[in-house]
Structure 1
Amino acid sequence: MIEKSSAEKIAFEVETSEVCEGSSIPYDQPSGGWWYNLKDSFKRADVDITGEGLTDHEKQLQKIEKSPLKKNLKNRHLQMIAIGGSIGTGLFVGSGACLQAGGPAGTFIAYAVIGSLLFVTVQSLGELAVAYPLSGAFSVYNSRFVSRAWGFAMGWNYAIQWLVILPFELVVAGMVIQYWNDKISPAAWVSIFYSLIVFINFFGGKGYGEAEFFFSSVKVISIIGYIILGIILVSGGGPNHEFIGGKYWHNPGAFRHGFKGLCSVFVTAAFGFAGTEMCALAAAETVDARKSIPKASKQVFWRITLFFLLSVLMVGLLVPYNDSRLGTSSYSAKASPFVISISNAGIKVLPSIFNVIILFTVLSVGNSSTYGCSRTILSLAEQGFAPKIFTYIDKKGRPIPATIVTLVFGLLSFLAASDKQGEVFDWLLAITGLCAIMTWGSICACHIIFRKALTVQGRGTDELAFTSITGTIGSWYGLIGYFGVLAAQFWIAAWPFQLADNIGDRIATFLQAYLAVPVVFCFYIAYVIWNREFTFFNGFKNIDLDHGRKAVDLDVLRQEVAEERAYFASQPWWWRWYNIWC
């Protein structure tokens, strides 16, 4: 055997070493063959904690800052996650439940209101995520800017939301397959889709990014195609050559159940937008968060305007709200309203093609839910809100235990073969029904507190690489708007369209519509009592504005920001306008 020279050894070490992002510990690729390398990749990537005499809280902050999650997500990934990340069964199937409950006008208004609230929320979240690109994102922000008790409650609120969405999406996949063949057990199809999601998540953040880039591309193309088709059909250009126009807005009508019908669809519409905040959750795994996240945040405006509002408008023009194929919930619908509208036009084959696209969206949202839940559980563990085992991140940047818990919970999807699936998912969705609303409202509150803390501590927005277009005014609008949605949902829960005669049924109906709110406050109270932490608000002067900042030298950052703003101001108006919104 010929021994390698010193130079060759050094070259080999340079070629085969990989430094975990945010960690000072190098990851040396072993050379024992692919099987050995595979096994070695699952070993823990530890994080060095520097400094003496650190408190437990300071150690937790360092662990979050130096998370060995790999920065595999590039600008193109973030763009497609922002544009198509939340386009899923909430829109393709859930819009049918909205249409059935509130009518076409009620559905359009509900989506527009939630969309406007979400736009200002993502702007606020983008500002925070660029300043603090931490694993767990808004879970950490709640602990830092409000209190640890609130961070615990909202972190688990968000994790539970995604825990439920994964099996829910897989059940919807089995339901969509039955459009072609209802003889085969839905559990067989669930197994196939579940296996695909497990396979994608084996590749960690990179697998999520590449899969979401592909899925979102398919969804975006299909939505644009449907909007064009919808305009043609409404104008009388379909095979039936029937001019539809606003026919169904007159008969059976634009609204159903009046103002109460409108209020009843806010939460369903919010469910359709769930996942929009994912681009900020991925900040810790993004190559250049400072440039990628602002662009991704701006893309939300176009997605809300073009993809959601125009497609919902087309559905409302093409499908009457009393169509028997529309269900009262996303999993009970016999067909997507998008598919119903194409079938009503007499177009062959295309309904089946669109159902295939819906299956892609199921995979996409299932993939996102696994990613979102695992990263949130990881963040909770790093903050001391979950067992330490969930802080385990392997050398490839995969949070293995957190991902396994998420996937194990996904096995609930096999309830698709049970006669009780509707009852089970009624209660599962009851726990998560308002989770998104409370998460978004809390993000707005964190942004308001963050800006106030900057002012109180004698600092300003000149040290922020990206600031929200709508500022704190937008965050106040979002916070007040979400409180309004919660109030409207309370009204619907307490006084539904049909009041049951049995008191037990009335309580069950109320809890299924409003259970998420008391669950969050139970988490909050349990944390306060168990840990005896009675700090309900950290206080503006006590808020830590420095740990986790992307740029340590604030003077250099201020100079860079000033130069960027001066360059921006020197450009033509049309260039400035384009870059503000795009």
Structure 2
Amino acid sequence: MGMTAESFKRRDETEANKHNKYNQTMKGRHLHMIAIGGSIGAGLFVGTGSALRRGGPASLIVDYSIIGVMMFNVVFALGEMALMYPVSGGFYTLVTRFVDPSWGFAMGWNYFLQWAVILPFEIVVASFTINYWTEGSVSPAIFMAVFLVALTFICCFGALGYAEEEFWSSFLKLSAIVTFLIIGVVLVCGGGPDTGRYNEFWGNRYFQDNGGFKNGFQGFCSVFVTAAFAFAGTELIGLAASESKTPLLTLPSACKQVFWRVTLFYILSLTFVGLLISADDPDLIGGNAFANSQASPFVLVGKYAGLFGYDHFMNVVIMISVISIGLSGVYGGSRTLTALAEQGYAPKFFDYIDKTGRPLYSTILILVLGLLAFAGVDPVNGVELFDWLLALSGLAALFTWGSICLAHIRFRMAWKRQGHTLDELPFHAALGVTGSYIGLGLCILVFIAQMYVAICPVGGGDDGSIYNSPEGFFKTCLAFPVVIFFWVAGYIWKRPTFLTIDKIDVDSGRRDIDWALHRQIQEKRANASFFMKIIYKLF
């Protein structure tokens, strides 16, 4: 890990680390936990409250399922490419290589800005969880400072510090969700304490109003942006793969575990949220950027059930979860900025990587941007500032995921055109290139739905009409013009020629695959028992 003065000096580039300057310190257990629980945070535990209020329980489940199907295909597409090309910066460099350099430039800056904004937001949400106990008697700025110092300390240990924190925080998050699922079954069946609300059979009473769809088609479309926010960070598995010791063994399994996160930890938990909390509950907060844990459906279930101490337990889980996502923001944002600098798309000094594999100056910049969290202390101007900052990340993830699918489609086209076969790929996406077409198509449909809601929001515009104001529109879709700006800027700056399929380079920079080990793994699975074949297929 290295915390000496020598460890902070620039790493010398050698042929061994030409395509990957980071230390491969992550272990298999780290990669698995990042895949299955890494991005679970405020989007699930807190954001579902406002989503439930806008769209109802059925919209909540359907929209999250659609985003889940999208993410399943995105992660497998990224996994296939990341295992072939061990490049720092993850997906962004793949977009530059297989789609278009100017579009890759736009996606790199889009991804950096997404994480740069997420960090101060998560720090604010974490400080507000403390307010659940202090009830406003202590300034949240104190806790913001504590959380920022804690994140800075963890970052000193580089990728291994991030991986260890993600492992244990993911373990806590997953344990909390499993506990919630067990409690949810009991409460829906009427097994709650006599002092609480759920002491009789509860059933699906909240799904009976309009079939669980609130505010019609507008409400349905409005939930997508919250669902996308909740899944943001799932693609970090591609970044982490470049810092894993044994990606050939761990990355395919980690990609498969995304399916279990979607089905078990998202869809099932949201089903019980919809069964137990009404979309018209007055305690739910609708769309405030400073949504706090008191409005979390996961906390409200314990409160209404009369479960002593459960609300405090979930509040602790939420606090740790949002801090974890903040750390992911530092990790993802710093690696992306460093990759931009390495390709000449950002100031050169940001390509500084020290001897222990830390992208030093990029990490420092992300942490400095975390100071924006202190704007949240101002109840008026702080909210306004964060509304605009979060507008940058509202659609950013959709552009990221769509670009990954498009890169995979063009990679497969170039791979086939240049005479290669699928047997030369050590790992195949579950649904092949078809899955990437599905993922890209869903990204486009969700983008259209979000544009519709931005123009015609739930409840109408501020002036009483059905249409949104220009300010309200851009607070929802600011990421769109920002991406277009960077795309045009990248084209003007680099003047790239159109990247045809024949011009795509699929050979240079490929990972040195241990094919003997690969064949050994395949033979082991082929000769396994029927039960173990199922296990290998699912996990």
> By the TM > 0.5 criterion, same fold?
yes
Partner residue in 2 for 1:332: 291
Stretches of structure 1 lacking an aligned partner (at least 5 in a row): 1-17, 19-28, 30-36, 51-61
User: Please, which of 75, 82, 100 is the counterpart of residue 129 of structure 1?
Assistant: 82
Q: Write out per-residue CA displacement over residues 251-283 of structure 1, whole angstroms, 9 at most, x where no aligned residue.
A: 586111112111111111010011111111112
Partner residue in 1 for 2:313: 353
Partner residue in 2 for 1:519: 482
User: Please, which of 250, 254, 262 is the counterpart of residue 220 of structure 2?
Assistant: 262
Matched to 1:574, the amino acid is F
Partner residue in 2 for 1:436: 397
Partner residue in 2 for 1:99: 52
User: Please, which of 379, 384, 408 is the counterpart of residue 447 of structure 1?
Assistant: 408
Partner residue in 2 for 1:489: 450
State percent identity of aligned pairs.
45
Q: CA deviation at 1:356?
A: 0.7
User: Please, which of 166, 176, 179 is the counterpart of residue 212 of structure 1?
Assistant: 166
Matches within 5 A, 1:375-524: 375-419=335-379, 420-497=381-458, 498-501=460-463, 506-524=469-487
Q: Write out per-residue CA displacement over residues 122-181 of structure 1, whole angstroms, 9 at most, x where no aligned residue.
A: 111111111112211101101100111011000111111100000000110121111111
Partner residue in 2 for 1:233: 187
Q: Which has the larger radius of gyration?
A: 1
State how far apart, in whole Å, the 2-side matches of 1:131 and 1:95 are. 36
Is residue 253 of structure 2 the alignment partner of residue 295 of structure 1? Answer: yes
Q: Write out per-residue CA displacement over residues 504-524 of structure 1, whole angstroms, 9 at most, x where no aligned residue.
A: 971011111111111101101
State how far apart, in whole Å, the 2-side matches of 1:506 and 1:491 are. 13
Q: Is the 8 A contact 2:79 2:255 kept in 1?
A: yes
State how far apart, in whole Å, the 2-side matches of 1:82 and 1:345 are. 32
Q: CA deviation at 1:501?
A: 2.6
Matched to 1:500, the amino acid is D
Matched to 1:579, the amino acid is Y
Partner residue in 1 for 2:504: 543
Q: Mean alpha-carbon deviation: is it higher for 404-413 or for 565-574?
A: 565-574
Q: Is the 8 A contact 1:125 1:443 kept in 2?
A: yes
Q: CA deviation at 1:561?
A: 5.0
State how far apart, in whole Å, the 1-side matches of 2:464 and 2:295 are. 32
Is residue 12 of structure 2 the alignment partner of residue 46 of structure 1? Answer: yes
Stretches of structure 2 lacking an aligned partner (at least 5 in a row): none
State how far apart, in whole Å, the 1-side matches of 2:446 and 2:524 are. 41
State how far apart, in whole Å, the 1-side matches of 2:173 and 2:318 are. 8
State how far apart, in whole Å, the 1-side matches of 2:491 and 2:74 are. 28
- CA-based RMSD: 1.9
Q: Is the 8 A contact 1:449 1:540 kept in 2?
A: yes
Structure 1 outlier segments of 4+, above 6 Å = 502-505
Partner residue in 2 for 1:171: 124
Q: CA deviation at 1:500?
A: 3.2
Q: Mean alpha-carbon deviation: is it higher for 429-438 or for 325-334?
A: 325-334
Partner residue in 1 for 2:264: 306
State how far apart, in whole Å, the 1-side matches of 2:270 and 2:424 are. 40
Q: Is the 8 A contact 2:47 2:291 kept in 1?
A: no
The count of corresponding residues between Structure 1 and Structure 2 is: 529
Q: Secondary structure at the match of 2:76?
A: helix
State how far apart, in whole Å, the 1-side matches of 2:382 and 2:490 are. 32
Q: Is the 8 A contact 1:219 1:357 kept in 2?
A: yes
Q: Is the 8 A contact 1:332 1:422 kept in 2?
A: no
Q: CA deviation at 1:328?
A: 1.8
Partner residue in 2 for 1:15: none
| Residues 257/473 of structure 1: CA separation in 2 closer, same or farther (3 Å cut) | same
Matched to 1:179, the amino acid is Y
Partner residue in 2 for 1:56: none
Q: Write out per-residue CA displacement over residues 229-269 of structure 1, whole angstroms, 9 at most, x where no aligned residue.
A: 11111111111322211122225861111121111111110
State how far apart, in whole Å, the 1-side matches of 2:210 and 2:295 are. 20
Q: Is the 8 A contact 1:133 1:289 kept in 2?
A: no
Partner residue in 2 for 1:146: 99
Q: Secondary structure at the match of 1:100?
A: helix
State the TM-score, normalizing by the size of structure 1. 0.88
State how far apart, in whole Å, the 2-side matches of 1:214 and 1:403 are. 22
Q: CA deviation at 1:567?
A: 4.8
Is residue 153 of structure 2 the alignment partner of residue 199 of structure 1? Answer: yes
Q: Is the 8 A contact 2:89 2:335 kept in 1?
A: yes
Q: Mean alpha-carbon deviation: is it higher for 422-431 or for 77-86?
A: 422-431
Matched to 1:444, the amino acid is C
Q: Is the 8 A contact 2:31 2:241 kept in 1?
A: no
Matched to 1:299, the amino acid is Q
State how far apart, in whole Å, the 2-side matches of 1:43 and 1:292 are. 31
State how far apart, in whole Å, the 1-side matches of 2:152 and 2:523 are. 48
State how far apart, in whole Å, the 2-side matches of 1:577 and 1:270 are. 31
Matched to 1:140, the amino acid is T
Matched to 1:272, the amino acid is A
Q: Secondary structure at the match of 2:132?
A: coil
Q: Is the 8 A contact 1:83 1:299 kept in 2?
A: yes
State the TM-score, normalizing by the size of structure 2. 0.94
State how far apart, in whole Å, the 2-side matches of 1:243 and 1:568 are. 46
Is residue 531 of structure 2 the alignment partner of residue 531 of structure 1? Answer: no
Matched to 2:11, the amino acid is A
Higher RCO, Cα 8 Å, sep 6+? 2
User: Please, which of 134, 137, 144 is the counterpart of residue 190 of structure 1?
Assistant: 144
Q: Mean alpha-carbon deviation: is it higher for 316-325 or for 404-413?
A: 316-325
Q: Write out per-residue CA displacement over residues 396-428 of structure 1, whole angstroms, 9 at most, x where no aligned residue.
A: 111110000000001001112112222111111
State how far apart, in whole Å, the 1-side matches of 2:211 and 2:427 are. 45
Partner residue in 1 for 2:236: 278
Q: Is the 8 A contact 1:160 1:432 kept in 2?
A: yes
State how far apart, in whole Å, the 2-side matches of 1:233 and 1:251 are. 20
Q: Is the 8 A contact 1:445 1:479 kept in 2?
A: yes
State how far apart, in whole Å, the 1-side matches of 2:264 and 2:505 are. 39
Q: Write out per-residue CA displacement over residues 280-312 of structure 1, whole angstroms, 9 at most, x where no aligned residue.
A: 111221101111111110100001000000111
State how far apart, in whole Å, the 2-side matches of 1:290 and 1:160 are. 31
Matched to 1:232, the amino acid is V
Q: CA deviation at 1:502?
A: 8.4
State how far apart, in whole Å, the 1-side matches of 2:14 and 2:78 are. 29
Q: CA deviation at 1:549?
A: 1.2
